[in-house]
């Protein structure tokens, strides 16, 4: 029943921008922490950005000041604006809903981002 669907991925040249969106159904995100993860070629999955129910945000150092995570509780969605992209940002990006009390997260199917030099 719970479904997270990412969109907005694609190919862009270095220095460009993309905006990813995650539409959530089957669960209300209002009181949930939301996050974006990514997995690049030959790399481990890493947390990129996180936004709590109180709208507090956290970013991994490599994207700080370039990416912005936001949420729209009315639309039940979360977005990731990515600016000044570099080839190191090339990855499959996953939206995640992080429940409280150590419950496992819900994952989207992922959307591919390719940044060319």
Q: If you write DSSP's letter for every residue of 23-61 in order, what string do you get?
A: EEESS--TTSEEEEEEE-TTS--EEEEEE-TT--EEE-T
pLDDT single digits (tens) 25-47: 999 999 999 999 999 999 999 99
pLDDT single digits (tens) 56-105: 999 999 999 999 999 999 999 999 999 999 999 999 999 999 998 889 99
What is the residue-averaged pLDDT of the chain? 97
Please give the Cα distance from 80 to 89 (Å, whole number). Answer: 13
Structure tokens at 81: 């604006």
């Amino acid at each position: 029943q719970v479904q997270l669907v990412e969109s907005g991925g694609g190919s862009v040249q270095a220095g460009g921008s993309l905006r990813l969106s995650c539409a959530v159904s089957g669960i209300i995100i209002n009181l949930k922490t939301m996050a974006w993860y990514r997995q690049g070629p030959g790399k481990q999955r890493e947390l990129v950005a996180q936004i709590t129910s109180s709208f507090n945000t956290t970013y991994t150092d490599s994207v700080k000041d370039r990416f912005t995570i936001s949420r729209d509780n009315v639309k039940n969605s979360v977005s990731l604006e990515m600016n000044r992209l570099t080839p190191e940002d090339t990855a499959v990006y996953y939206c995640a809903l992080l429940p409280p009390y150590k419950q496992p997260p819900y994952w989207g199917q992922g959307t591919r981002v390719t940044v060319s030099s």
